[in-house]
């Protein structure tokens, strides 16, 4: 492990807004969820910020992703809806069939729909661009599905935080579960590097990799109390992750080599992370800022 200086950090005009999810939009900007204030924000790489308040300030927008329709789609974990916002800031939302479902992770699927997790009810959901929703119950109770991503095999892969497993679902709804070797690993974030799936274990302080045939490798972090939270692939075998409990951004290579970057402000609570339109890594800091690291 090496530590290579600090990331840049940029404070936001409304630090109490709670930046949580972040993704690169089709317009060359970064799009964020403000989990505390109930807004979606658009941030250009040169620092111009636009904020779009949602219809329900307490809806807790959480994870955000580009959709196949050129809009941004996001989960509203408190009022149990899926949101959609255009790059011009026009927003709408869709209620879920299952009450109190707690949607969290969301990603574009290979079938032209958005796929999302339901933390509270142990389901994987699918929503079309027209708002048509399907739900698929998982074969385990209390699994608390977290992040979800498209895999290189055309299926969707997701982290089961309380079932201590990684899940896979096909676009037809067939599911498979892969238990993790480490007890209490509590996976949250997951990403595809185009060859395998990488995930972070917030409970064990590890980064994991799973092949599409289910083979799992785990890589302990130097600080096992770092609480890794979200992960994104910059290239095959090159993944970046947030360390929510250690105030750092980490990088891991295919061989398990780890580099860490300190964040300038103390206890900034890094959550979501994405590759920006400028090729840098951008992370949302829930205490009211955005961090940038040029690899």
Tell me which residues are annotated as active site.
271
Return the structure tokens found at 187.
């996976």
DSSP 243: E
36 in a labelled binding site: no
Q: Where are the beta strands (DSSP E) in 39-80?
A: 39-43, 49-53, 61-66, 72-76
- Dmax over CA atoms of the chain, in Å, equals 48
User: What is the rounded CA–CA span in Å between residue 155 and residue 189?
Assistant: 17
Task: Assess contact for 273 and 290: CB atoms under 8 A.
Answer: no
Return the structure tokens found at 23.
């993704």
Return the structure tokens found at 22.
């972040």
User: What is the rounded CA–CA span in Å between residue 142 and residue 21?
Assistant: 24
201 in a labelled binding site: no
Apex CA 115: angle with CA 113 and CA 118, to 5°? 150
269 in a labelled binding site: yes
Name the β-bridge partners of 154: none
DSSP 55: S
Q: Residues comprising the binding site for substrate?
A: 229
Residue ranges of the binding site: 229, 269, 286
């Amino acid at each position: 492990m090496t530590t290579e200086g600090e990331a840049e950090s940029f404070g936001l005009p409304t630090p109490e807004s709670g930046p949580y999810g972040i993704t690169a939009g089709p317009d060359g900007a970064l799009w964020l969820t403000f989990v505390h204030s109930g807004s979606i924000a658009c941030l250009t790489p040169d620092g111009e910020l636009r904020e779009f308040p949602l219809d329900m300030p307490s809806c807790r927008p959480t994870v955000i992703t580009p959709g196949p329709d050129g809009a941004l789609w996001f989960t509203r974990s408190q009022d149990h809806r899926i949101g959609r916002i255009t790059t011009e800031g026009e927003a709408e939302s869709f209620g879920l069939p299952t009450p109190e479902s707690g949607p969290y992770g969301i990603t574009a699927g290979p079938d032209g729909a958005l796929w999302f997790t339901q933390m509270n009810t142990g389901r994987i959901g699918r929503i079309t661009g027209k708002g048509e929703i399907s739900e698929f119950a998982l074969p385990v109770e209390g699994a608390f599905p977290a992040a979800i991503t498209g895999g290189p095999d055309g299926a969707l892969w997701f982290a089961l935080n309380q079932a201590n497993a990684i899940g896979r679902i096909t676009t037809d709804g067939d599911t498979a579960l892969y238990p993790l070797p480490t007890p209490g690993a509590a996976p949250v974030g997951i990403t595809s590097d185009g060859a395998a799936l990488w995930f972070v274990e917030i409970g064990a302080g590890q980064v994991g990799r799973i092949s599409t045939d289910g083979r799992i490798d785990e890589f302990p972090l130097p600080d096992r109390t770092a609480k890794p939270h979200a992960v994104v692939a910059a290239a095959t075998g090159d993944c970046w992750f947030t360390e929510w409990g250690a105030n750092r951004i980490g990088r891991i290579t295919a061989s398990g080599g780890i580099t860490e970057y300190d964040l300038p402000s103390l206890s900034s609570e890094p959550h979501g992370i994405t590759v920006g339109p400028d090729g840098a890594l951008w992370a949302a800091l829930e205490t009211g800022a955005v961090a940038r690291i040029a690899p």
